[in-house]
Every structure is written in structure tokens, then in C-alpha cells.
Amino acid sequence: MAPAIFLLGQMGLFKPIQSASVICGYLLFPAEIKHIDAQIVGEEYHVFPGTTMTVCALKLRNGFIVIGESAAASPENFDAASGCRIARDNARSKIWALEGYLLRSKLSRDGCAPS
């Protein structure tokens, strides 16, 4: 089964689209999860002493680093493993925006950026 493809509409709602478009040889749909994960070549975590603040730094293939963070509302609710997972998910979600920017830059460079 092919992965679901979604398009963000004007009202911020996601709706499924049936197929991807090809413009100037670029396949236009959100990057697949495998592609996003393939950009990650390293990760480090830090929990600030005496706090519930967890930071995750993901190193990407090109050397760029994205940062994600998490913090529990109260120390009683803090779980280090959950903090690391949430911080990593937050960092990973930033890669989607970077990949979208990269694609738009390629389209613009090639004179194919849709308006």
C-alpha cells in the first residue's frame, strides 16, 4: 500500500490527494518518511540538571543540525525516555520544513516554481 499523501489547504486542514505532480522533473509531494529519516546521521540528547528540559540535536547528512526540545509541566510527570522521544520528534519535524524549502529553491532555480 502506498503511503498517504496529504496537502495543506488554506484553512490549515489536511486533505488526501490522489497523485503527485511532476514539474520540471521534480516529484511534488511531501517527502516520504524514509527520506526524512535518511537525512539523520547522528543524534545527541541533553537533560538540563535540575529541570525537565530535554534537548535533542539531530545532525543531518549535510552537517546541518536541527534542535528539538521537550519539558514536562511538573517534575513528577518527568520521564527521561519520553522526554528524549518527544524532543527527537520535535527536531525531526523541522526537517520537513527544510526539505520543503530545498525543493522550492530547486524549482525556483529551474524557473519552475508554481505560483
Predicted confidence band at 16 (pLDDT cuts at 50, 70, 90)? very low
Nearest to 28 by CA among 45, 51, 5: 5
Summarize pLDDT for 70-103 with one digit per residue, the tens. Answer: 999 999 999 999 999 999 999 999 998 898 888 7
- Structural domain contains residue 88: yes
* Number of domains into which the chain is organized: 1
Domain that holds residue 100: 31-109
Q: pTM of the full predicted structure?
A: 0.69
- Structural domain contains residue 21: no
Mean of the per-residue pLDDT values of the chain: 79
Q: Which helix (H) or strand (E) covers residue 28, if one does?
A: strand 26-28
CA–CA gap between residue 17 and residue 72 (Å, rounded): 37
In this structure, what CATH number is given to the domain that contains residue 50?
A: 3.30.160
- Structural domain contains residue 9: no
Asked whether the predicted pLDDT for residue 13 surpasses 90, the reply is no
- Structural domain contains residue 77: yes
- Structural domain contains residue 16: no
CB < 8 Å & 24+ apart, contacts of 104-107: 106/26, 107/23, 107/24, 107/26
Q: What pLDDT score was predicted for residue 112?
A: 74
